[in-house]
Structure 1
Amino acid sequence: MTKQNSASPLPPPKERRRLRESRSLTLDQVAERIGVSRTTLHAWESGRGLPGGAEGEAYARLLAALALTPLTPPAGDRRRVPAPACALENLTPTQAFDALYVFCTPALVRQAYLLCGSRELAREAVERAFQLAWQRWPVVARDRDPAGWVRAVAYDCALSPWHRFRPRHRYPEPPPADPADRALLHALLELPPSYRRTLVLYDGVGLDLPETAAETEASTPAAANRLTHAREAVAARIPELADPAELHRRLLELASADRLRAAGPSLVRTVGERRNVFWTRTAIAFTVTIIGATTLTLRTAPTHYEPPIAPAQAVQGVPLRAAAGPLSHDEQTLRTKLRRSESSGPERVRPLAG
């Protein structure tokens, strides 16, 4: 193993990548400047390789120069200057959210398109991710990587299997017009979701392997295995993409082929707040319904045990109850005579002499 030059100490791998990205330099630009391949430079930035020799010394000098060079943007381009810490701290939550949205949305929509193959679904996934971020903004604002938090949620929304049951997304959108882009998109969509996500993060976004493993919630060996199988599957369909550098370039071209636009930050915040209010009211109504049903049950439910009434049964062997029959003619005559003599007859019946 080549030893590192002690006269030019190198920063940690993550710091190397941060210095390069802070100056808006790509891997290809730095690799061409120091005379190494893009794969070698990527290994140095991910910690899988140790710089050495003349190239390592040139790399160390370049990093030292980047660390000492102030961030002075070219004239007419002030967007590359990061905001001072004091200015970021003075931003209101709305301003901070809008700044994060404007900065991340264009790239996130293109990445989501590579994952789902639908322009409308990609925009919807990114907007939904930012709506969730606005609902949990205190947590997201304190996160060490707010952009990574939103990216993870957007990827989950784009790869959700429930979209196939929605009528809006049941039928696929028209494929890209370029046959090469159409073949690459078809190859990506044929990959399992976990392989597709790993490939986009590593070869599309440019994360290193540990960061890719952390974002996909997998171990580093598992992420490396997914990446290897994904590259092999894409290379089997498109042999010219066996080179990782060419695959990275083609992914960027495919993502940038169409102009994918999302809604404005104010609209996303408004829709998120309305959605939050709707679900809050729904939860309150559901809770009130449950409480009312419980109260009604307690009021109408029996408070003691009531034995059930036994079913009726026929009783045999009981004699019939005797009833008076119709009166005879003599009995009817006597009854009539008695009724007539009640008011005009003698007060006392006297016995007749014998």
Structure 2
Amino acid sequence: MTTQSPGTPLPPPKERRRLREHASLTQAQLAARLGVSRETVRSWEAGRTTPQGSRREAYAKLLATLACPPALPPETTRGTRPDARTKRPHREDRAPADSPVAQSAAGSCAAGSPAAAQTPTEAFDALYAHCAPSLVRQAYLLTGRRELARESVEQAFQAAWHRWPEVAVDPDPAGWVRATTHEYALSPWHQFRPRFRNPEPPPAIPADRALMDVLLSLPPSYRRTLLLYDGIGLGLPETAAETEASTPATASRLLHAREAVVARLPDLAAPGLLRRRLAEVASAERLRAARPAVVRMGGERRARLWTRAAITFTVALISVTVLALYTAPTRYEPPVPPGRTVPGVPPRAAPGPLSATELALRAKLRAQLFNGPQRLSPQPR
């Protein structure tokens, strides 16, 4: 029996739970496959414990199979009834393959996993070419701003290039970049930026403008849930995992978002019509992403600037500390005591004519002799 080392890569705990729910497996069923208890699987998905040895190897292989399940041959699928674990979602629950909004979700296992023979630059460019065009449209549906949509995609891919060793081995690199893009686009700090204080021109078509107004009136979490489920075509467990919410909370957000859209646009109550209208609004705008080389160079240039700024700040802090130590006193110097009032001398007043008391005091001082030897005066010989 051979075991893997403790360093065998495993998805994060939230991704483990998402893969299991996507395959319609319960924790008890997954535990039966691995030969462990249900409490052990629950602890693995919560991140409290981590499997080791042969269990880690078996768990990693099972999760990899759930992430990209192998296709069954035609003779195996003919005459066999799919069970609950292999049943594909209904056609209305999946976005059309040619939808501009759903292009980032389609083929994430194929295009999201870089080939071993590719260099990091080639793998990054392939991922960018596959995901960037649709991500720009998704960010536009979330924000209603064309410039912010392009900036969100560039920031997400620059972060991916900066952490490429981690993103390259992620089970779903396209989902990683998509989640980063959506989080940056919906950041509340953009409202404090001067360039985004004024709204951009709305779509030219009145129907598209009405749909964008409804989308932008929804809370950001509802808007993102509606886009992931109805726009991209993700399932409810995948949408809940990407928005970091529970499945019941995600279902509630989706129902409230649909009710708000149908209340203002009753024509979109038909199943599948909202998904098609989202794709039409996203594809109507001429949104183009930057070239991958520009994004990579921009990320590298920003990293160099931040590194230089950190080095400059560190050097300045060290210089100030050394100067303070050099100029600091080496012995204790007591503070100067406050002045005391001389009795008989009135306090100094503002400039002006002297009073009678002051004139009398001056005459008295001039008339008296000073203490000490008499003043010598020269005498002729």
TM-score normalised per structure 2: 0.65
Name the amino acid aligned to 1:116. T
Pair member with larger Rg: 1
Q: Which moved more, 1:253-262 or 1:146-155?
A: 253-262
Q: Give 1:258's aligned residue.
A: 285
Displacement of 1:14 after TM fit? 7.0
Structure 1 residues 108, 83: CA separation in 2 closer, same or farther (over 3 Å shift)? closer
Q: Return the alpha-carbon distance in structure 1 between the equivalents of residues 250 and 262 of structure 2.
A: 18
1:179-236 deviation per Cα after TM superposition (whole angstroms, max 9, x unaligned): 1111000000001111111110111011111111111111111111111111111111
- Does 1:16 find its partner at 2:88? yes
Structure 1 residues 309, 265: CA separation in 2 closer, same or farther (over 3 Å shift)? same
Mapping of 1:50-199 within 5 angstroms? 88-199=115-226
1:135-166 deviation per Cα after TM superposition (whole angstroms, max 9, x unaligned): 11111111111001100111112112222233
Match of 2:321, SS state, is helix
Q: Return the alpha-carbon distance in structure 2 between the equivalents of residues 12 and 246 of structure 1.
A: 28
Displacement of 1:112 after TM fit? 0.7
- Does 1:240 find its partner at 2:264? no
Structure 1 residues 86, 113: CA separation in 2 closer, same or farther (over 3 Å shift)? closer
Q: Return the alpha-carbon distance in structure 1 between the equivalents of residues 309 and 183 of structure 2.
A: 25
Q: Return the alpha-carbon distance in structure 1 between the equivalents of residues 295 and 143 of structure 2.
A: 21
Q: Is the 8 A contact 2:156 2:177 kept in 1?
A: yes
Q: Return the alpha-carbon distance in structure 1 between the equivalents of residues 112 and 179 of structure 2.
A: 25
Structure having the higher helix fraction is 1
Q: Return the alpha-carbon distance in structure 2 between the equivalents of residues 238 and 86 of structure 1.
A: 40
Structure 1 residues 85, 325: CA separation in 2 closer, same or farther (over 3 Å shift)? closer
How many pairs were matched up?
A: 269
Displacement of 1:304 after TM fit? 4.1
Q: Return the alpha-carbon distance in structure 2 between the equivalents of residues 14 and 220 of structure 1.
A: 20
Displacement of 1:86 after TM fit? 11
Mapping of 1:255-294 within 5 angstroms? 255-294=282-321
Give the root-mean-square deviation of aligned CA atoms.
Answer: 2.9
* Structure 2 unmatched ranges of 5 or more: 1-78, 96-106, 345-368
Q: Return the alpha-carbon distance in structure 1 between the equivalents of residues 135 and 303 of structure 2.
A: 23
Q: Which moved more, 1:243-252 or 1:92-101?
A: 243-252
Displacement of 1:302 after TM fit? 2.8
Name the amino acid aligned to 1:108. L
Q: Return the alpha-carbon distance in structure 2 between the equivalents of residues 292 and 137 of structure 1.
A: 36
1:77-122 deviation per Cα after TM superposition (whole angstroms, max 9, x unaligned): xxx8x86999811100000000000000111111111001112211
Structure 1 residues 86, 111: CA separation in 2 closer, same or farther (over 3 Å shift)? closer
Displacement of 1:244 after TM fit? 4.1
Mapping of 1:310-329 within 5 angstroms? 310-316=337-343, 321-325=371-375, 327=377
Mapping of 1:335-350 within 5 angstroms? 335-337=379-381
Name the amino acid aligned to 1:236. A
1:302-336 deviation per Cα after TM superposition (whole angstroms, max 9, x unaligned): 3443321212224448x952342464xxxx5xx43
1:263-299 deviation per Cα after TM superposition (whole angstroms, max 9, x unaligned): 1111111111111111111111111111111111122
Q: Return the alpha-carbon distance in structure 1 between the equivalents of residues 269 and 334 of structure 2.
A: 81
Match of 1:336, SS state, is coil
Q: Is the 8 A contact 1:164 1:170 kept in 2?
A: yes
Once the two structures are aligned, what percentage of the paired residues are identical? Answer: 60
Q: Give 1:22's aligned residue.
A: none
Name the amino acid aligned to 1:213. A
* Structure 1 unmatched ranges of 5 or more: 1-6, 18-26, 29-37, 43-79, 338-354
Structure 1 residues 167, 229: CA separation in 2 closer, same or farther (over 3 Å shift)? same
Q: Which moved more, 1:144-153 or 1:86-95?
A: 86-95
Q: Is the 8 A contact 2:135 2:153 kept in 1?
A: yes
Q: Is the 8 A contact 2:135 2:178 kept in 1?
A: yes
Structure 1 residues 15, 272: CA separation in 2 closer, same or farther (over 3 Å shift)? farther
Q: Is the 8 A contact 2:137 2:283 kept in 1?
A: yes
Q: Is the 8 A contact 1:203 1:244 kept in 2?
A: no
Structure 1 residues 167, 117: CA separation in 2 closer, same or farther (over 3 Å shift)? same
Name the amino acid aligned to 2:82. L
Match of 2:88, SS state, is helix
TM-score normalised per structure 1: 0.69
Displacement of 1:245 after TM fit? 1.5
Structure 1 residues 243, 303: CA separation in 2 closer, same or farther (over 3 Å shift)? farther
- Does 1:228 find its partner at 2:240? no
Match of 1:89, SS state, is coil
Q: Return the alpha-carbon distance in structure 1 between the equivalents of residues 176 and 252 of structure 2.
A: 24
Match of 1:173, SS state, is coil
Name the amino acid aligned to 1:10. P
Q: Return the alpha-carbon distance in structure 2 between the equivalents of residues 231 and 85 of structure 1.
A: 30
